[in-house]
Structures are given as structure tokens and as C-alpha cells.
Amino acid sequence: MVAARRGGKRVGYVRVSTIDQNPGRQLDGLELDKTFTDKASGKDAKRPQLQAALDYLRDGDVLIVHSMDRLARNLDDLRRIVLELTERGVQVQFVKEGMLFTGEDSAMSKLLLSVMGAFAEFERSLLKERQREGIALAKKAGVYKGRKPSLTPERAAELRSRVAAGEKKAGLAREFGISRETLYQYAPVAE
């Protein structure tokens, strides 16, 4: 177990991709001062709790993450985040890999970060490829119907009429429980 430097905090970051996943198991049993949890895909670094954790961390703190693929799914983001943190005096610990990055890392540590990060990125690519192949086979067999619509036809009609009446789109998206992107799919803006 890595201790934070004097006065520093032990901060956990947890990311789960689906609602079914249990965020509690990732850093279970570790003593942490604060934990940030995202329920989002790791495909990019634009995650609200990750940003909050990065803003929160100070010199002397330790960011503790279950594994590299929980922090970032591509090598560029992983290396950028680790480098930015260590340059600020924040240590980064990956529990599963048993690795700690301090900013005074050896060439071997930097190589391992790159290799392990490349494996995480490769694994994601394989997963997406298998998913596309599975969907193509299911479509060919007539089994794949696609994602269930977010709104019933009645709710979609109500949404379109309220957009046409000039109601604010952000408020409607919240009320209907959909993203603004989904709202624009149901009610495209006339140019």
C-alpha cells in the first residue's frame, strides 16, 4: 500500500461502463480520503468525475485507480493524464498492475506504462470489432432489431409539439429523461 506524502490525500478514481457493474469492488478494502466515480465509457477523457478528481488533486496526493483501463482506454490519454499528474507532484497508483508513477520514474516504468496502455487500447479495439461482427451476424439472421427507442410515439409527438411551441430544449431534455442529442433526433431543428 502506498501512503500519500505528508499532508497529501489518498484519492480514488472508479469508472464503470454500465449500470450493472459494481463500482464498490474496484477499490474495495483500500483506505481513501475521497473517491470519484464515473458511470461512463472510457473511450475519451471527457468524464465529469475524472475532471473533478484531476481538479481536486494537489502536490503530495496519490491518485489510486483499480487498473489502467479504468483511467483511460487509449494510450495517448493514459500517458497524458499520468504525465500531467506526476508533473504536478501527484503520484498515480494502479492496483491491478501493481505500478506506481511518481514523476521520477525509470525508463522501464515509462515503457511498461506504454506497453500496458497499448494492451488496454488493443483490447478495446478487439471488443468493438467482435461487437460489430456479432451485430452484423444478428442482422443477417433477422434477430437484431437495434436499440429500443427512448420515447414512445406519443411522447415523441408531445416532445415535437412542445419544441415547435418554443419551449427550452435543455428543460425538455431533462423532463423527458433524454440527452439533448436525442432530443434533436426526435425534433430536428429547421434551418
Domain of residue 74, CATH code: 3.40.50.1390
Same domain for 105 and 15, yes or no, is yes
State which of 96, 118, 140 marks the end of a domain.
118
What strand order describes the sheet that includes 62-65? 34-39, 10-16, 62-65, 91-94, 99-101
Catalytic residue, candidates 17, 67, 109, 150:
17
pLDDT of residue 2: 66
Q: Output the nine-digit C-alpha cell for 185.
A: 433526433
**Residue at 124 is within a domain:** no
**Residue at 157 is within a domain:** yes
State which of 91, 118, 145 marks the end of a domain.
118
**Residue at 146 is within a domain:** no
Same domain for 100 and 52, yes or no, is yes
**Residue at 82 is within a domain:** yes
Same domain for 164 and 108, yes or no, is no
**Residue at 137 is within a domain:** no
Is the distance from CB of 74 to CB of 84 less than 8 angstroms?
Answer: no
**Residue at 125 is within a domain:** no
Q: Find where cell 500517458 sits.
A: 79
**Residue at 172 is within a domain:** yes
Q: What are phi and psi of 112, to 5 degrees?
A: -60, -40
What's the structural domain count of the chain?
2
Same domain for 103 and 17, yes or no, is yes
Q: pTM for the whole thing?
A: 0.64
pLDDT of residue 191: 45
109 is catalytic: no
Q: Give the rounded percent of residues in the chain with a pLDDT score beyond 70.
A: 91
Taking only the tens place, the pLDDT of each residue in 60-113 is 999 999 988 889 878 888 999 999 999 999 999 999 989 999 988 888 888 888
The residue range of the domain holding 86 is 10-118
Mean pLDDT for the stretch of residues 112-122: 83
Between 75-87 and 107-140, two packed helices, what is the crossing angle to 10 degrees?
150
**Residue at 129 is within a domain:** no
